[in-house]
Amino acid sequence: MKSKLAFCVSVLVLTSACEKPEMSMELAGAVAGAAIGGYVGAQFGGGLGQWASIAGGALVGGGVGYETGRILKESDMVLYRGTAEKALARSSNGTALDWSNPETGNSGVFRPTQTFQALNGQTCRHFRSTVAFSDAVKSGEGTACHGADGNWQIISNYFG
């Protein structure tokens, strides 16, 4: 069983050497996910069935790992946070502000949707946010509250 897992990981690592450097986070996630998925798959069946379980586990794990690795880079997060702060502080409900990062090619839109007073007296806002990657778009919503320090704190942010 260890030799099968070692074989799967070796194939993934060797084939990943051809990838572009800017894909490193996605690639790392895919390799780790495929290795874990292959290992889990190796726990089931025997013979040809076990090989099928390993392959299936590696495929599913690789896909999940890739998506997990495709997070916003730090330079994206700086732009996202700046746009969020500006939109929350100055934009009326429904007004969208956008950001774009030429370094990564990612971009996004941040739109406050509702302003309300929390039970503790803080001003809070619901918002909707969309991030465009090179091959997909993810949208989510969240809530931010105006802190005593004058800054907006995102207290929930869900990308589904």
What's the rounded Cα separation, in Å, for the pair 82 and 77?
Answer: 8
pLDDT at res. 61: 61
Inter-axis angle of helices 2-16 and 24-41, nearest 10: 160
Most trustworthy range by pLDDT among 99-103, 119-123, 138-142:
99-103
Q: For residue 99, what pLDDT is reported? A: 96
Split at pLDDT 50, 70, 90, the class of 87 is very high
pLDDT, position 84: 94
Q: Which residue has the higher pLDDT, 25 or 91?
A: 91
Does the pLDDT at position 81 exceed 60?
yes
Return the pLDDT at 88.
Answer: 95
Q: What type of residue is 136?
A: A
Angstrom distances, CA of residue 11 to CA of 6, 31, 147, 151: 9, 10, 50, 48
- Please state the φ and ψ torsions of residue 31, each to the nearest 5 degrees: -65, -50
The whole-model pTM stands at 0.57
Q: What is the pLDDT of residue 16?
A: 45
CA geometry: angle 56, 12, 20, nearest 5 deg: 125
Give the pLDDT band (50/70/90) at residue 133: confident
pLDDT at residue 52, as a whole number: 74
Mean pLDDT of the chain: 76
> Which one of 8-22, 44-58, 85-99, 135-149 scores highest in mean pLDDT?
85-99
